[in-house]
Amino acid sequence: MSGMVYNFFNSIINVGFEFYNPIAGAAALVTYILLNTFFMSELMSILLKEKFSYVWSSNFFSMMINVVLVGLLGIVLAFSYNSYGIGGLLLFFIPLLLARYTFKLYLDMRKNYFDTMNVLVRAIEASDPYTSGHSLRVSAYSEAIAKQLGLPQGKIDVIKSAALLHDIGKIGIDKNILNKTERLKDEEFEAIKSHTEIGATIVADLSYLANISDIIRHHHERNDGKGYPDGLSHNNIPLETSILTIADSFDAMTTNRPYRHSLSLEDALSEMKKNAGTQFNPDIIDDSITALRNTYYNLSE
């Protein structure tokens, strides 16, 4: 298709170059980018069950960057070959191979990072059948909300990490208190509340997790300032924390706990909407509800 576009514009526009028509080339390039990103985004949106607009916009801009960089590289390689022959090409390819290898190491390290956290989360939750899978679901809900809000991938990864480890502080809480089915005494509730500070302290001591320490510390804060541990309110609660709070609360509502049965999806979403402005950030509640509904169905399949 791109070739057909090139031939069409080349036949009607003459710019005086013998071997190349830059206008026809630009038209062919635009056609290639649009078609490639459209069909790949459609496939990815089906496989990943994501919104087409989100997948397409993400791929389009990354494709533009890729095309510009590869195009510049092609020009450099062409000049290098004309000036120095095959030896000049080799001088460029060796650093490129090293860069590719370095990038692969980064991707492997990123995968190992999330795999390690998943194993750690499963170990923490193994002793409590009521919270088994809770952190993984909260991570999925948090990621979906962040994507619905259009946050960049770097922030999405931070939110996912915080969601996976948001209850890590519970390893410092007596299991008898955690699994108690009766109403908690005041001192027992205070012990439960301390898991936010314990968790924040644990991850703060690890350099590669220090950036999620504050999110974990404040994931039980409320929009009206009546949460814990620091009583932060609306404008003082980071967006990442507000997302995690919504995801954590939604999963708690829709799963069975020792002290109550789960709510239905619609009842839970109704509670979220009702508590917007008091418990939850009202600025993101509508997008959050959309993301939660879609992700809930995906996790239920």
Q: List the one residue out of 58, 3, 11 whose CA is nearest residue 29.
A: 3
Catalytic residue among 155, 170, 193, 273: 170
- How far is residue 103's CA from residue 88's CA, in Å, rounded to a whole number? 24
Q: 170 catalytic, yes or no? A: yes
Name the residue with tokens 């439960």. Answer: 192
- How far is residue 235's CA from residue 248's CA, in Å, rounded to a whole number? 20
Q: Which residues are catalytic?
A: 170
